[in-house]
Structure formats: C-alpha cells, structure tokens
Structure 1
Amino acid sequence: MSQEDTAHGRQHADAAPDGSPPPTYLGILAVAEFRAVFVAQVIATLGNVVAQVTLSVLVYERTRSPLLASLTFALGFVPHLFGATLLSAVADRRPARDVLVACQAVSFLVVAVMAVPGMPVWALLGLLLVLGTVAPLFQGARAASLPDVLPGAAYPLGRSLLRLVSQSTQIVGFAAGGVLLLALTPGRSLLAAAGGFGAAALLLRFGTRRRPARWDAAEGARTSVARASLAGVREVFAVRGMRPLLALTWLPPALAVAPEALAVPYADELGGGPTAVGLLLCAAPAGSVAGELLAGTVLRPRTRVRIVLPTAAVLFVPLLVFVLRPGVLLATALLAVCGLGFSYAMGLDQRVLEATPEALRGRAFTLATAGLMVGQGFGFAGAGAAAEFLPPHHVVAGAGVLGLLTVVLCRRSLAGRDGGPADDRPGGR
C-alpha cells in the first residue's frame, strides 16, 4: 500500500473529506434520506415478525403439527441462498430505489394473499418461500445503496443502527404479533403485517432519491439475471482479499449461535427452568446492543477497522469457560461478554465496502447478507446435532475453539494479502 493510499484510507475512516469530526448516531439520523430508510426498516421488520408469528399459529391450528408450525420460521431463511445466487445481479443492474420498493411491494402482495380465507397450508408455505427469496435481494440492495446515503465513515454507523433497530424491533414484533392475535383473526393480523410492507414501500419510494444503476444497462441487456448473478458470485470471490472478509462475515456468527441454540438443554442440564432459559437467551443480544453502542460512540472509525479481529475473538474466548459447566448466572455473564464481540461487524463493514468494486457492490452485499443468514441456520442445526452426542456445555466450548481457529485463519489470510497483520492496516487494502 502506498503512503498516499494509506493517508486516504485514514482520512476516509476517521473523518469526512472536508475535515469535519467523525460522524455520530445522532448525526446520521439527521440525514432525511437515512431516516426514511430507518423508519421503513422498523415498519417492515414489524410486519415480517407479525406475519411469522401469525402464520405459525395459523398453520398449527389447521394441522396440529409442531413440525409444520416450525417450518413457518425455517422456510423464511432457506431461499436466501437461491435469491443471492440467481437474483443478486438485479441489485446492480437496476436503480437501488426501484429494487427496494419492488421487494417491499412483492412482500406486501404475498402477505396480503396469505390473508385470503381458506388458503391451503401448502400454498402458505410456498408463499413463504417467495418472501425468503426476495429478502436477500432487498438486504443486499439496501446495504449497497447505503454508502450513497451515508458516505465515508458514516456508513458503518448506519449499518450498525439498522442492526440495532432490527434486533429491538424483532422483540417488539413478537409481542405485537401475540397481541394482534388476541384482538384480531389471523387473516386480519396478516393484513396488518401486509400494511407494514406497503407503508415501507411508500416511505422508500418518496423518502429516498433514485440514483442510476451501478451496472451499465447496455451490458446488462446482453446477459440474463441468473447468469449475471452467478457470474457475479464468481467475480466477488475473485476480488483480492474478499474471501477472508466473507469468511469473517459468515463463520463467527454461525458458530456464536451455539449457546442460543442449546439454551434449553443447557438450562435443563443445570436443573434450571424457564427463567434460566430466558437469561441465557437474552444475555448475548443485550451484550451485542451494548457493544455496538459503545463501539459507535467511543471508538474512532479507524480504530474499529483496526481491531476487527481482536473484537471478533471476544465472541469466543468466554465460550471456552463453558468446558467447566458454569452456573446460570456466570453463564449469563459470559454470554453478555460474548455479545460485545458482535461489534466487530462495524469495522468489517468498512473493510468489505473498501474491498468491493462499485460495479459489484450490490451482488457482493447480497451474497454477504444471504451467507450470514444461511450460516446462522446451519449453526443452529449443527449445534443441535452435536448435542445429540456431547453434553451441551462441551458443544458450546467446542464452538469457542472453532471460532478462535476461524479468526486466526482469517488473520493469516488477510496478513498474507496485505503483506502484514491485517488488523494493523486501517485501509484494509
């Protein structure tokens, strides 16, 4: 890396090009266009969670099958990989606002059709697959367009704030879904959820600017969406240094879900009840919120980039203590500390953005977000499968070992790419 590139990277990471101070959460909320994206995220997340809760109840009432009821949650994640590999080119060949509005409009129509009385269960589950297919396209297009709304060091803060509100809104959404089902029929509850997607589409349509597509329209016309998307996946993986960054995006969260996946059997192993389960489930999310807020307000942007790998290691070091089978209170404290490590994503977001060519940005972010969701699904399944043969506390400790090994291997890959330790290079190039 040249001295000029290094200086530019530091300026880009720590302050705006005009030399103004580093951005803050309050500062990015003052951007009207981002506020529209932010509010749309809240409304759409509420609609999505309410739809999931309602469908789970509706399917169980009709079939009395716990498996089919649980599929209403699982089927929302399964198609992420399909959408990322075959549709991601849309995020680059169409203006971002058009993609975002279209995805929310499709979600509105799908959930509204779900509300039709007497809709067969197989049709409801099929419509869920449609929702899961457009979800990664929406998430990738939004992530790829966010640097245009929040340039420079404001971008990681915007991503962080959207993650925080998504986590918080999901909790509220589960409660809201239960309340709505007490007051409304499942059909009307689904219509309310559809209304959330419709409102989000209108907010994005009238609250954000329509910017040109990143991919030349003439070039795109010569290639089908599926072929361009598959080619984009190959191109993303071919970008210098992208593979370890994607590994850091996907693998640590996939391994870090082990304590959440095994909260019930671990609490049972300790002789605890529902209270113990609740403590274990809430600890990491609470730590995650605290970690992102601290990183976003206390650390400078360049520092967040520099300590990506040490922060990711924080996710797993406390898990090693589980080999001693800690009690509920100590386990809760350990998981809260683990949650602090999720703030590594803020610096990682900046590194991924800087490593991605602009023409590939939509496909890269669609692939990254889809891999994150699919990886967490495999993480839940893998932890459960391992617990069939090993005590839950050993599985959690094993996830800690694998997580630290992943961080070490990614560090070596990034160091080999940069010619030196990756976490000492703010620009990440």
Structure 2
Amino acid sequence: MSAPPKAPAPARTGYRHVLAVPEFRAVFAAHVLSLLGVVVSEIALSVLVYDLTGSPLMSALAFAVGFLPYALGGTLLAPVADRFPARRVLVVCDLVCAACVAAMVAPGAGVGVLLALRCCVAVVSPVFAGTRMATLADVLGDGDAFVLGRSLIRIVSQSALLIGYGLGGLLLTAVSPRHALLITVGTFLASATLLRFGTRRRPARLRPEREKEGGTLGLLRNRRVLVLLLVFWVPAMFSVVPEALAAPYSDDLGAGSAGLGLLMCALPVGTIAGELFAGARLGRATRERIVLPLLCLAVVPYLGYALSPGLWPSLLLLVLAGACSAYTLGLDQWFVRAVPEESRGRAMTLLSAGLMTIQGVGMAGAGALAEVVGVRAAVGAAGVAGTVCCVALAVACRVTESRDGAARHMTGR
C-alpha cells in the first residue's frame, strides 16, 4: 500500500493558511487538549500527594518525576514512532496516558502508585511528541508550512506557562484533586478521538527491510543531524537558568510574589513575541539566515545579570533572551531537511526527549552553582558558558551545512 499524497502546502503560507488545513487543525486541537490535561494533572497530583503526605518534598517530587523518565522513553521507545503507523502511535499514547491518570483517581492509590503512574505518562510523552512532530511534516509537507505549524505548537506550549497553571489552581478551588484528574482523563480521550477521526491513516515510515540500515545510533552518526540536535538542546540547558533561580532572585530583589510571577513570565513572553514576528513577518529565506546570528545571541542578555540589575531591567533582559529563540523556526527547516524521511519519527522523539532532559539538567546545575556563587553570578556564568557553546555550535553548523545544502539542491527545495 503506497502512502497517500502529502497535503499541498498553502500557496501563500502564513499562520492563517496553516490553520486552514483540516488535518493540522485536528492535530493542533489535540495538542491543546493534551497540554491542558498535562497541566491539570501536574497541579492536581502535586496537591493530592501533599494532602496524603503533608510533605513539601513529596509534593515537589510529583513534579520532578515528570522529567526523569524522558531520557529513558525517548531512547528506548524512539523506534516505535517509525515502525508503526503514526496515527496508531498517537492514539495509543493518548489512551495509555488516559488509563494511567484514571488509575490515579482510584481511592486506594497510594503515593508510590501515584508517582509510578506519573512516570509511565512521562515515558510515553516523548514518543507522542516526536510522532506528532513527524506527522506535521506528513500533513503540511516539509517546507515553510511545517515550520509555521511547529511554531504554533511551541507558542501554545509557551502560553501554557503563562496561563495554564493559574487556571489549574483556580480549578482546584472548585473541585477536589481526584475530580480534577478525571478532567485530565477526559482531555486525553478527546485528544485520541480527534487524532483517530481527524487525521488520515498513513503507513509506517520505516520499511521492515530497512530496519537494520540505520536505527537511532545510525541517526546520531550523521554529523549534520547530531550538530542540529545539539543546537536545539545546548542553548535550552542555559536558557532555563533564570527560571530555575527566579524564586531566590526575586527574594534578593525584595520583589515578593508579584515580582516572582513577572520573572517567570518574561522569558515565555519574549519567546512568543519572537516566534510570532519571525513566523508572520519574515520569509523562509530570512528565517534561515538569522538562525546562526540569533543562536550566538541566545543567552548573551544573561551577562547583564553581572551588573546587578533591578526588577524591570531583569525583565527586559529575559524578554530579549526569549525573543532570540526565534532562530528555532529556521532550525526546524534545517532539521527536517537533514533527517531521512523513514527516520523522522525517531529523530523527533530524540529531539523532544533530549530537550526535556537537558532542561532538567540545566535547572539542577543552576541550583548547585547558585549555592556556591550566588544567583546573579550563576546567571551571568550561564551567559558566558552558554555563549561560548552557542558560538561553537554555530561554527559546527557552518562546517556541516554543505551536506544540508547538497540535499536541498538535489531535492529541488
């Protein structure tokens, strides 16, 4: 059975035109529902664990265990994204998450069971995210429309940081944590339904006879792909440092809870603004040209923390740093161009798992460094080390870009 033809990208591509593609609307709506479910479940589970134990540490662990299994799931389960039809993988992942959250609602579920179920959801998450990203290329093609579709997914994810947890907190004033978890079950089931009936069935990307030709290690042996993965991962490790240290920094400034809220919001606001401007106002060629300059500037604003700025200058620095992340739109185009189509699902799964894992490493490292040198010095050090790493990665991109250019030339892209 041959693969159905890809949906043609809109002739004049923009966010509005991407949203006009019916299959993308289904994937996008399913993402919103899944994200809502994750946000509600994280808050409800944290509160539920605290109610059961009275321990702030155990409550925090309910959040932390959501990060830990990403590397495991992304590494061991990455091939699943290409070995089976994408729609089936997405629907099964949603159903597994719904089943795990439904089991959390059981009155007899103890803390150990709750945390184990949370780990199961986290193991599945990178497979779902990677398969969804690869599906966008099937739905929108692997050109400009794909980049804008990915951008919309990221914008929604960043927006969740601004409003999701606040809405989740309000929800828990009206219902118990276990009832809130039932809402999460509903969102996962709704997402599965949208994906099952709103997207077309496509065969598995990886044909059985080609199973031994590449694999995950083969993908990582591709120097261009490895460099691009590092460009996604490494800046993210340094960019989360101010977020990880926002509470002690706000305390140092005497800004209180209001200042803490502003510090937590500034980076996502800059990221959303940068994405929207690059996606709506810049052409495809321009977005690719600004990748390396913005990459080199990605964490430069953090150097300003060495000057002991007040609250408002600090917010400006964070907004600027967030806006520099607009380089990811052009980077998305390079990545989908560099990865063989039959390995696209596992590549996207690795990308998602690595991104979450390295952000957790960055947060932990930030806390450890701040214990020794203080908050401002830790953020400034992240700016120095991060800039050195980003410049080195920019050079590596230049060295490997001939391969990408050759691929573009051969395929007429």
Measured in 1, the distance between the counterparts of 2:330 and 2:235 equals 14
Partner residue, 1:193: 184
Aligned residues: 403
- Structure 1 residue 213: deviation in Å? 0.6
User: Percent sequence identity over matched residues?
Assistant: 47
Residue from 354, 359, 371 that aligns with 1:371:
354
Residue from 142, 146, 150 that aligns with 1:155:
146
Partner residue, 2:328: 345
- Are positions 1:181 and 2:164 aligned together? no
Partner residue, 1:39: 29
- Are positions 1:92 and 2:75 aligned together? no
- Structure 1 residue 207: deviation in Å? 0.3
Partner residue, 1:239: 222
Gaps of 5+ in 1: 1-15
- Structure 1 residue 219: deviation in Å? 5.5
Give matches, 1:14-163, under 5 Å: 20-21=11-12, 23-151=13-141, 152-163=143-154
Measured in 1, the distance between the counterparts of 2:9 and 2:35 equals 36
Measured in 2, the distance between the counterparts of 1:428 and 1:143 equals 24
- Structure 1 residue 70: deviation in Å? 0.7
- Structure 1 residue 240: deviation in Å? 3.5
If the length of structure 2 is used for normalisation, what is the TM-score? 0.93
Asked if 2 retains the 8 angstrom alpha-carbon contact of 1:81 and 1:370, the reply is yes
- Structure 1 residue 217: deviation in Å? 3.8
Asked if 2 retains the 8 angstrom alpha-carbon contact of 1:351 and 1:428, the reply is no
**Could you say if the C-alpha distance between residues 142 and 18 of structure 1 is closer, same or farther in structure 2, counting changes exceeding 3 Å?**
closer
With 60-69 and 405-414 compared, the bigger mean Cα shift is at 405-414
Measured in 1, the distance between the counterparts of 2:89 and 2:103 equals 21
- Structure 1 residue 18: deviation in Å? 9.2
Asked if 1 retains the 8 angstrom alpha-carbon contact of 2:10 and 2:18, the reply is no
- Structure 1 residue 147: deviation in Å? 0.7
- Are positions 1:406 and 2:389 aligned together? yes
- Structure 1 residue 185: deviation in Å? 2.2
Asked if 1 retains the 8 angstrom alpha-carbon contact of 2:233 and 2:354, the reply is yes
Residue from 195, 208, 227 that aligns with 1:204:
195
Asked if 2 retains the 8 angstrom alpha-carbon contact of 1:291 and 1:341, the reply is yes
Give matches, 1:265-344, under 5 Å: 265-344=248-327
- Amino acid of the structure 2 residue aligned with 1:108: A
Report runs of 4+ in structure 1 exceeding 4 Å deviation.
16-19, 424-429
- Are positions 1:382 and 2:382 aligned together? no
The residue matched to 2:275 in structure 1 has which SS?
A: helix
Measured in 2, the distance between the counterparts of 1:188 and 1:29 equals 33
- Structure 1 residue 172: deviation in Å? 3.4
The residue matched to 1:389 in structure 2 has which SS?
A: helix
- Structure 1 residue 342: deviation in Å? 1.4
Asked if 1 retains the 8 angstrom alpha-carbon contact of 2:162 and 2:268, the reply is no
- Are positions 1:258 and 2:249 aligned together? no
Quote the RMSD (CA, aligned, Å): 2.2
- Structure 1 residue 216: deviation in Å? 1.2
Measured in 2, the distance between the counterparts of 1:239 and 1:332 equals 39
Asked if 1 retains the 8 angstrom alpha-carbon contact of 2:86 and 2:204, the reply is yes
